[in-house]
Chain A
Amino acid sequence: MLKKLFINFLLVAAVVAVLDFALGKVLRHFYFRESSGLHYRTTYSMEKADADILIFGSSRANHHYVPEVFADSLGLTFYNTGRDGNGIFYQAALLKSVLKRYTPKVIILDYAGDFGKGRQVYDNLSSLLPYYQSHPEIRQEVNLRSPYESVKLLSGIYPYNSQLLTIAVGNLDMNKKRKSDNKGYVPLETEHPVVKEYFNSLIQQPVDSNKIESLREFVRVAKASGTRFVVVYSPLYQEHKRYWEIEICETICKEAGVPFWDYSRDSFFVQQPDLYYDPVHLNHKGALIFSKQIASRMRDVLH
Chain B
Amino acid sequence: MVFTSVNFILFFAAVIVLYFSAPLKWRWLVLLVASYFFYINIKPVFAILLAAVTASTYVFTRLMDQTRKESRKNVYKVINIILVLLPLFFFKYFAVINNSLIAGLQGWGIHWPLPEIELFLPVGISFYTFMAIGYTIDVFNEETPAEKHPGIVALFISFFPLILSGPIERAGNMLPQFRNPVNPDYDKVVKGLRFMLWGFFMKLVVADRIGIYVDAVYHNIPNHNGTTLLAAFFLYPFQVYADLGGYSLVAIGVAGILGIKVMDNFRRPFFAATMAEFWRRWHMSLITWLTDYVYTPISFALRQYKLWGIVYSLMITFMISGIWHAASLTFVAWGLLQGIYLSVEALTNKQRANMEKKYKLANRGWYIFLSCLITFILFGISQVFARSANLQDAFQVLGKIVTEPGALFIGAPSILIFSILGISMVMLKDFTDEYYPGRFLLFENRNKPVRVMAYSLVIVLILLIGVFDGGEFIYFQF
Residues of A that sit less than 8 Å from B by CB:
1-2, 4-5, 8, 11-12, 15-16, 19-20, 23, 119, 123, 126, 146, 148, 151-152, 155, 157-158, 160-162, 164-166, 194
Contact = CB atoms under 8 A, between A and B. Distances in A.
B interface majority secondary structure: helix
A5 B414 contact: no
A164 to B, nearest CB: 6
B49 interface: no
Interface in B130-167: none
A20 B186 contact: no
Interface stretch (B22-30, B344-352, B431-439, B465-473): B465-473
Nearest to A12: B455
> Top 10 nearest A-B pairs by Cβ distance?
A123-B469, A15-B456, A165-B414, A157-B463, A148-B6, A1-B186, A16-B456, A12-B455, A19-B460, A16-B459
Given A119-B469, A161-B463, A19 B456 contact: yes
Interface of B: 6, 184-186, 189-190, 223, 413-414, 417-418, 452-453, 455-457, 459-460, 463-469, 471
Residue of B190, B469, B471 with most partner-chain A CB within 10 A: B469
Given A15-B452, A20-B463, A164-B465, A146 B184 contact: no
Nearest to B185: A1
Contact of B6 (A11, A146, A164): A146
A272 to B, nearest CB: 22
Given A151-B6, A152-B6, A162-B465, 8 more contacts: A8-B190, A12-B452, A16-B459, A23-B460, A158-B463, A161-B464, A165-B413, A165-B417
B413 A16 contact: no
A155 B469 contact: no
B211 to A, nearest CB: 13
B390 to A, nearest CB: 16
Contacts of A157: 460, 463-464
23 contacts: A2-B184, A5-B186, A8-B190, A12-B452, A12-B455, A12-B459, A19-B456, A19-B460, A20-B460, A20-B463, A119-B471, A126-B469, A148-B6, A158-B463, A160-B464, A162-B418, A162-B466, A162-B467, A164-B414, A164-B465, A165-B413, A165-B418, A194-B223
Contacts of B417: 165
A19 B459 CA distance: 10
Contacts of B189: 1, 5
A121 B53 CA distance: 39
Given A15-B453, A19-B456, A151-B6, A4 B186 contact: yes
A278 to B, nearest CB: 11
Contacts of B466: 161-162
Contacts of B190: 5, 8
Contacts of B185: 1
Contacts of B464: 23, 157, 160-162, 164
Contacts of B469: 119, 123, 126
A161 B469 CA distance: 11
A123 B466 CA distance: 14
Contacts of A148: 6
A1 B190 CA distance: 11
Contacts of A194: 223
Contacts of B186: 1, 4-5
Contacts of B413: 165
A166 B414 contact: yes
Contacts of B459: 12, 16
Nearest to A169: B413
B344 to A, nearest CB: 41
A2 B190 CA distance: 11
A15 B459 CA distance: 10
A158 B465 CA distance: 9
A180 B285 CA distance: 53
Contacts of B471: 119
A15 B468 CA distance: 22
B414 A162 contact: yes
Contacts of A158: 463
Nearest to B189: A5
Contacts of A165: 413-414, 417-418
Given A1-B184, A1-B185, A148-B6, A161 B465 contact: yes
